[in-house]
Amino acid sequence: MKTTQAQAHDALVKARAHLVVRHPFFGCLALRLDLVESSAAGTMATDGKAIHYTSAFVLTLTLKKLAPVIAHEVLHVACKHHTRRGNRDPRQFNIAADYAINGILVKAGLFNLPDGGLYDPQYVDWGAERIYADLPKPDHPQQQQPQASGEGESQPGDGEGQPGDEQQAPPAGPETGSGDGKPAPVGEVWDAKDPDGNDLSPADIAEIEREIDTSVRIAAQAEKSIGAGSRGVAGGILKGLGDVDVNWGEVLKDHILETVADDYTFDRPNRRYIAQGLYLPAADETPRGELAFAIDVSCSLSKEELEADAANINDIIDTLKPLRTHVIYCDSAIVGTDTYESGDPITLKHYEGGGTAFAPPFNWCLANDITPDVLVYFTDGYGEVGGWPELDAEPDYPVIWATTGTTPGFRGNEFGDVIEI
């Protein structure tokens, strides 16, 4: 017979799998974090790297109730509550963060709140800091947060649940209330720490928040492409998380890496996993292949926007190190092309555009016998692929539509992935 610890871990993994299938936005984010059994958690807690939980608490919940709890915790990490407390009272900030998260979940209409979940319609669309300032000032002495200490085995990649904060309430008891009749979250948000348990530097926090921003946008894109579960809701939740400022350049770079980086080496271990004690291979960055970037000049791009696009393109090139990069400018026809060799910095040119046609860059690649590892098409998306002029042939290489407006229409077969920027 399985131990209590094993049963609790299995329950969390099943709940996470349920989210992956039914609500990919939450499920995709839930795959980021480990599951760690820890008595310090009381019920559940998160430090942004793991869900710390007690088996006794987990086993009070059915699968139907546990999945929403994980979704709740996912949003705490997405909102960066583990990096944003500052000098605020930990317990009071937990309460404020819980009101913020539950407001998002209620507005989205995806899940029922956990029993005893903190909710006030006044706080819908409010950030945790604003709610904190509105709450009555705490009248208890500020307590030191517990340190993350996994007493059970960490399960990287096996039980990555989500940050735990205010979870579904267990039966009434000392853990579910504050003892003074005032509202209190069931779980906790712990401040992010370094591997030695020390406070993070501003630079470390900024790096963690950039990674979260990227993960949030990728999760939203994954749900959109899968077309399952809470499709269409992720965008509303992202809008409700107004404090999540996503670096689309990082999202685009990660997507391109997933598309074209199929050679791996242990010479440079993947840095994302070293902190977890996992030495996994990283993409082999030996210069190879060709990249193509099509710029839709029919949409008005300012000098500043072109410079930002060029900076992101150069960042992508620095990472992938292609032998050659092609930049194709197009409105209703090709208006200019540039080819850069390995190591050449790219500067985008400004063209005054006219109408929109998506086929010319693909036809240009075909006519010049160019088969890029990936073609990224910067556009506002307003137009049809396969209209006039027609495609000479559907591209047999990966295509990414980096769109500021909408997804392009297609007269024939749809192709390519869409990244909203």
Q: Where are the domains of the chain?
A: 4-240, 248-420
The confidence band for 145, taking pLDDT boundaries of 50, 70 and 90, is: low
The confidence band for 186, taking pLDDT boundaries of 50, 70 and 90, is: low
Q: What is the pTM (predicted TM-score) of this model?
A: 0.54
The confidence band for 168, taking pLDDT boundaries of 50, 70 and 90, is: very low
Higher-pLDDT residue of 13, 274? 13
What average pLDDT does range 111-140 have in this prediction? 83
Range of weakest confidence among 3-17, 179-193, 373-387: 179-193
Does the pLDDT value for residue 258 go beyond 70? no
β strands within 184-289, DSSP E:
188-189, 264-265, 282-283
pLDDT digit string, tens, across residues 204-218 = 888 888 888 878 877
With a pLDDT cut of 90, the percent of the chain lying above it is 20
Does the pLDDT value for residue 59 go beyond 50? yes
Q: For the purposes of burial, counting CB atoms within 10 Å of the CB of 245, is it exposed (0-12), middle (13-18) or buried (19 or more)?
A: exposed
What average pLDDT does range 237-247 have in this prediction? 50
What average pLDDT does range 131-147 have in this prediction? 74
Higher-pLDDT residue of 286, 366? 366
Please tell me the predicted confidence (pLDDT) of residue 300: 62
Does the pLDDT value for residue 173 go beyond 50? no
The confidence band for 144, taking pLDDT boundaries of 50, 70 and 90, is: low
Tokens 């609500």 belong to residue: 23
What average pLDDT does range 380-398 have in this prediction? 87
pLDDT digit string, tens, across residues 327-360 = 999 998 999 999 999 889 998 988 877 788 999 9
What average pLDDT does range 400-409 have in this prediction? 84
Does the pLDDT value for residue 21 go beyond 50? yes
Does the pLDDT value for residue 153 go beyond 70? no
**CATH topology assigned to domain 248-420:** Rossmann fold (3.40.50)
Closest CA to 358 of 331, 395, 394, 325: 331
Q: What is the radius of gyration, based on Cα positions, of the chain?
A: 24
* Average model confidence (pLDDT) across the chain: 76
Please tell me the predicted confidence (pLDDT) of residue 376: 92
Range of weakest confidence among 66-75, 158-167, 227-236: 158-167
Closest CA to 376 of 355, 359, 398: 398
Distances (CA, A) of 421 to 32, 69, 209, 245, 377: 23, 30, 18, 11, 12
Maximum average pLDDT range among 212-216, 262-266, 400-404: 400-404
pLDDT digit string, tens, across residues 289-342 = 899 999 998 876 667 777 878 888 888 888 788 899 999 999 989 999 999 998
Q: For the purposes of burial, counting CB atoms within 10 Å of the CB of 343, is it exposed (0-12), middle (13-18) or buried (19 or more)?
A: exposed
Report the half-sphere exposure of 364 (CA within 13 A, side-chain side).
21
pLDDT digit string, tens, across residues 64-114 = 888 888 888 888 898 899 998 888 888 899 999 999 888 887 777 767 776
Range of weakest confidence among 42-56, 57-71, 80-94, 273-287: 273-287
Give CA–CA dist 190/52, Å, rounded.
10
Please tell me the predicted confidence (pLDDT) of residue 250: 64
Does the pLDDT value for residue 116 go beyond 50? yes
Confirm if 293 and 378 have CB atoms less than 8 A apart. Answer: yes
Confirm if 119 and 162 have CB atoms less than 8 A apart. Answer: no
Does the pLDDT value for residue 55 go beyond 90? yes
Higher-pLDDT residue of 110, 391? 391
Does the pLDDT value for residue 271 go beyond 80? no
The confidence band for 182, taking pLDDT boundaries of 50, 70 and 90, is: low
Does the pLDDT value for residue 57 go beyond 80? yes
